[in-house]
Amino acid sequence: MILAEHLHANSEYSMVIEALQTSRLANGEAENSNCPESFLSPRQDCKRRHGSNGTIATPYDENCTNEHMVGVSSRDATEDIDTNIQPDVVFKKARVQRELTLQDMYNQDSFDDDDEDDSDWEPMQKHFEIMKWFCTNCTMVNLDDVVHCDICGEHKESGILRHGFFASPSSQDGPTDVELEFKGKYKDMQSGVSFSNRCTAIGFDERMLLHSEVEMKPRPHPERPDRLRAIAASLATAGIFPGRCHPISAREITREELKMVFSSENLMPRSIAMGVNLTLTVECLSYFTPDTYANEHSARAARLAAGLCADLASTILSGRAKNGFALVRPPGHHAGVSQAMGFCLHNNAAVAALAALAAGAKKVLIVDWDVHHGNGTQEIFERNKSVLYISLHRHEGGRFYPGTGAANEVGIDGAEGYCVNVPWNRGGVGDNDYVFAFQNVVLPIASEFDPDFTIISAGFDAARGDPLGCCDVTPAGYAQMTHMLNALSGGKLLVILEGGYNLRSISSSATSVIKVLLGENPGCELGDSAPSKSGLVTVLEVLKIQMNFWPSLASRFTELQSLWEIYAAENKSEESISELFLIV
């Protein structure tokens, strides 16, 4: 068996290929060339069965949900598996369910491949030569005989790292007409803008690209340097950065500074301490958890990310910039008081919030729209009434990673109500449900809290096409949510990148968000959108709990509850729920 495809000249991909050759041969995995379907992940298989239109849209499907469940019992697992799957496959899948990591779930198909009892394996099959390539956009493994990714439709030789999401998904490299138009439009603005209280600041440093996985797995790690490359290429192509935004100088956060920042809460997250110590022991490469890697550059990358976030917070709070976007990695919102996990090393949002408090803010709001619950951020602030943490995420009864973030997790030790969780009970959640939750939960509570600084933990893995999140939020949806939050805290808003693993989705979404920061209109109005049935149920659940702490929610709960009773009594269809809201 030979795996060979040189998508990029860059060494990371070469290393992936090399490692793939080694690992696949070493574990004797069967490469059944007679059955191309055997290479498909459950999601690929699903897409083939349900038809592929070659677009990047990956709407919710049952297999998608199953991939991202955590700690599922055998019974739960089988219930979530497509009923078309044969019983022996169901058994095999149920058997591998355990406390899965984020990466485990991403590589669910690899779990099956690595099964020691894989009776499909036949030694003779190693003589077949199978050519594969990794999709730059979504990392999916594709057979060499296809030119477009089977999952997302991206071209095998995509130009997304050079031209961002302006690169045509269907053709090789090369800018599109749209890109050329943008370049002409903004060619006079490439010299950059000066710092002013009206500018949008961007935090970025190329050294954060050096944080990458060393021990190569059968598929590239989803949290990869290309994420930042694709966003940066998109912003450059659009003439936004460099051009319309002001870069802030990168700086590594210091240990002393971290101690000072965290001493206000008597907290010194161990992950941060470990990150700092890594500079002294960089000889050994390590994994904090099976899915959270560190190489010799990771500690510096993490310190740069935290330093940029801290400086952006103080820059905005002092009025030297209007708002800002932290284009940083590794992400942070899973990193808590005592652990680095879920691809996260330092909790960048927490560092920024505490830096804002140190710089004079009295109340900081963190809104986390990453598709995963920010368990680390919640843990750090769950006793803190100065920081209101609101998270919207897939939860599904605790089966979606990381398993925390139920609606009844509201804060502890006198800070009840300062943690607000909006836990979706399914995948496929889209703009309508997010905007509805913003209108009925996020903004009413945030307005009552009245923050003087707002942070968005902006993962874009709830975006349409994301291979981990399997939700359906569009760039317009993210722009709308940013616009709504921009009305708080006098527009003092810092957006920090968290997750998001489809390059086209994250770069178009991030660009839409930054355009709103620059003062552009968010575009299409999503204000009249009605929620889905399950979205309404979730919002009602949250209101019922949180109105005990935020009195202004009571009338809203009563109103929505009566609507729900009408809907339930008449046993209306899912579609008719929008009629109900239009009447109102």
Minimum distance, C-beta of residue 410 to Zn ion, in the bound complex (Å): 22
Beta carbons of 546 and 417 less than 8 angstroms apart: yes
Tokens for 39, please give them: 């290479």
Whether 106 contacts 401, CB under 8 Å: no
The distance of closest approach from Cβ of residue 17 to Zn ion in the complex, given in angstroms and rounded to an integer, is 17
User: Rounded CA gap, 20 and 22, in Å?
Assistant: 5
Nearer to Zn ion, 357 or 458 (CB): 458
Whether 395 is a known active-site residue: answer no
Whole-Å CA distances, 546 to 267, 429, 446: 27, 22, 12
Contact indicator for 398, 404 with CB cutoff of 8 Å: yes
Among residues 134 and 241, whose Cβ is nearest to Zn ion?
134
Q: Strand runs (DSSP E) across 261-304, as ranges? A: 286-289, 292-294
CA neighbor of 251 nearest in space, from 190, 312, 193: 312
Nearest distance from C-beta of residue 166 to Zn ion, angstroms: 17
Instruction: Give the nearest distance from C-beta 133 to Zn ion in angstroms.
Output: 10
Between 136 and 314, CB nearer to Zn ion: 136
Q: Residue 341 gets which letter from DSSP?
A: B
Residue 7: helix, strand or coil by DSSP? Answer: coil
Using CB under 5 A as the criterion, which residues of the chain lie in contact with Zn ion when the complex forms? 135, 137-138, 140, 149, 151-152, 154, 370, 372, 459, 461, 499
In angstroms, the first-to-last Cα distance of the chain is 63
CB of 117 to Zn ion, least distance (A): 31
Q: Which listed residue (155, 163, 334, 346) is catalytic? A: 334
d(CA 417, CA 296): 41
Structure tokens, 217: 């797995």
What is the nearest approach in angstroms of Zn ion to the Cβ of residue 244?
28
Residue for token digits 């552009």?
520
- Which CB, 451 or 499, lies closer to Zn ion? 499
Least Å from the CB of residue 344 to Zn ion: 9
DSSP-derived 3-state class of residue 212: coil
The smaller minimum CB distance to Zn ion, of residues 109 and 154, is found at: 154
Give the number of other Cβ atoms within 10 Å of residue 50's Cβ.
10
Query: Which residue lies nearer to Zn ion by CB, 142 or 298?
Result: 142
**Closer of 436 and 460 to Zn ion (Cβ):** 460
Cα(91)–Cα(456) distance, rounded to whole angstroms?
41
Query: Residue 326 CB, nearest distance to Zn ion (Å)?
Result: 16
What is the C-alpha to C-alpha distance for residues 420 and 546, in angstroms, rounded to an integer? 7
Angstrom distance (rounded) from CA 241 to CA 262: 32
Please give the helix or strand (H or E) that residue 356 lies within, else none.
Answer: helix 348-358
What is the widest separation between alpha-carbon atoms in the chain?
A: 70
**Phi and psi torsions of 422, nearest 5°:** -110, 95
- Residue with Cβ nearer Zn ion (261 or 350): 350
What is the four-CA torsion angle of 477, 479, 485, 489, rounded to 10 degrees?
A: 180
Counted residue by residue, the chain has a size of: 584
Q: Which residues are catalytic?
A: 334
